[in-house]
Amino acid sequence: MKGMMVLERKINKLFRDFGIVAYCGERFEYSNSVVSFTPYFWDRLSRAHCEYIDKTFGIDVRSSYFTFCILHEIGHHYTLRNFTEEEIDNEIIIRKLLSFCEKDPKEINNAYFNLPIEEEATKWALEYMVNHVSWVNRVNRLCCDALRHYFKVNGWG
Ligand SMILES: [Zn+2]
């Protein structure tokens, strides 16, 4: 995909102080100091996720959703150490079960976000955002530009 290197370079530069490496993948994910992010992030479930955050924590992340999602993954980087190996393994099993569950996707998503490890990462991200408003605004703007560039060079915008 064209523009991917540019996008990755920009995102890595913006988030370099967190001690993580970011790469452009198919979803938002964290593993061993590596965060993957995706440019395709605004869909029905993201909207539902924003509603859930607003309802649960009283914070509107709609205009910062991409930044929030990366910060959530970075949140895993800082909060996973609060959990035991057993707790992490249990959550992996619950995640698998949820992925086979045939309920309403919105409900499954909410159950997923309620998992303690997920909730910790979300709380970390929200706290960071609340305490670094001008940084978040700057990063939002630069992320938007980087994404717009990515879509443009691929002929989608
Ligand atoms: Zn997560």
Model confidence pLDDT, tens digit, residues 119-143: 999 999 999 999 999 999 999 999 9
Nearby residues for ligand 1 (ion, Cβ within 5 Å): 118, 121
Query: How many whole angstroms from 72 Cα to the centroid of ligand 1?
Result: 6
pLDDT of res. 123: 98
pLDDT of res. 38: 95
Burial class from Cβ neighbours inside 10 Å (0-12, 13-18, 19+) for residue 61 reads: buried
Query: How many whole angstroms from 145 Cα to the centroid of ligand 1?
Result: 25
Distances (CA, A) of 83 to 46, 77, 78, 79, 121: 26, 12, 11, 8, 12
Query: How many whole angstroms from 76 Cα to the centroid of ligand 1?
Result: 7
Query: How many whole angstroms from 155 Cα to the centroid of ligand 1?
Result: 31
CA 77 to chain CA mean position, Å:
12
Do 79 and 88 touch, CB atoms closer than 8 A?
Answer: no
Query: How many whole angstroms from 148 Cα to the centroid of ligand 1?
Result: 25
Provide Rg for the chain, Cα atoms: 16
Q: Give the count of alpha carbons within 13 A of 80, CB side only.
A: 14
Query: How many whole angstroms from 49 Cα to the centroid of ligand 1?
Result: 12
pLDDT > 70 fraction of the chain, expressed in percent and rounded: 100
Query: How many whole angstroms from 52 Cα to the centroid of ligand 1?
Result: 14
Q: State pLDDT tens for residues 66-97.
A: 999 999 999 999 999 999 999 999 998 998 88
- Given a cut of 90, is residue 24 above it in pLDDT? yes
